[in-house]
């Protein structure tokens, strides 16, 4: 068996054997270690197996954004929000992605949605509000970045 075929067989067996939750756990650990590029393919496998998993789409978008591609993260966050329109994490993070892309209006729209979702102030609302305020105060010079 050639190396290419062996890799393909191993990858297919992994898809059949490794439960999606284990891949998701490993991906979150990679994200916590700031190994975003490593987390992305794991999360792509999770969303293939569980297309209705808003959390997995949110993590995939987060890893994509933190890996330096906020533009590519937007439709992934939108998918998470299509599945769960009340997903507070996705609203916060898509707002940060919009700020990274200099789209203050859309960031503020998600801040408004969080304000409605959080009966009393919640962490996601406070974090996005802080990011929006920093962006506005600096005239767009302070943005959420891949490194933080």
pLDDT of residue 88: 97
pLDDT of residue 9: 55
pLDDT of residue 61: 98
| Domain-located, residue 2 | no
pLDDT along the chain (148 residues), means of 10: 60 52 83 96 94 96 97 98 98 98 98 94 94 96 73
3-state secondary structure the chain: CCHHHHHHHHHHHHHHHCCHHHHHHHHHHHHHCCCHHHHHHHHHHHHHHCCCCHHHHHHHHHHHHHCCCHHHHHHHHHHHHHHCCCCHHHHHHHHHHHHHCCCHHHHHHHHHHHHHHCCCCCHHHHHHHHHHHHHHHCCCCCCCCCCC
pLDDT of residue 13: 47
| Domain-located, residue 110 | yes
Q: Which domain holds residue 72?
A: 20-137
Structure tokens at 69: 């591609």
| Domain-located, residue 28 | yes
pLDDT of residue 25: 84
Tell me phi and psi for residue 119, to 5 degrees: -55, -50
| Domain-located, residue 34 | yes
Structural domains counted in the chain: 1
pTM of the model: 0.84
| Domain-located, residue 25 | yes
pLDDT of residue 17: 44
CATH of residue 27: 1.25.40.10
pLDDT of residue 24: 79
| Domain-located, residue 9 | no
| Domain-located, residue 53 | yes
| Domain-located, residue 13 | no
């Amino acid at each position: 068996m050639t190396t290419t075929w062996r890799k393909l067989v191993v990858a297919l067996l992994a898809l059949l054997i490794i439960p999606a939750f284990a891949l998701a756990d490993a991906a979150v650990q990679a994200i916590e270690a700031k190994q975003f590029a490593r987390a992305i393919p794991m999360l792509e496998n999770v969303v293939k197996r569980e297309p209705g998993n808003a959390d997995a789409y949110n993590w995939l978008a987060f890893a994509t954004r933190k890996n330096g591609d906020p533009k590519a993260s937007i439709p992934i966050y939108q998918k998470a929000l299509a599945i769960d329109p009340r997903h507070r994490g996705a609203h916060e993070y898509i707002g940060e992605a919009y700020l990274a892309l200099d789209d203050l209006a859309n960031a503020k729209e998600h801040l408004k949605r969080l304000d409605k979702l959080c009966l009393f102030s919640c962490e996601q609302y406070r974090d996005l509000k802080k990011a929006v305020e920093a962006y506005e105060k600096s005239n767009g010079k302070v943005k959420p970045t891949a490194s933080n």
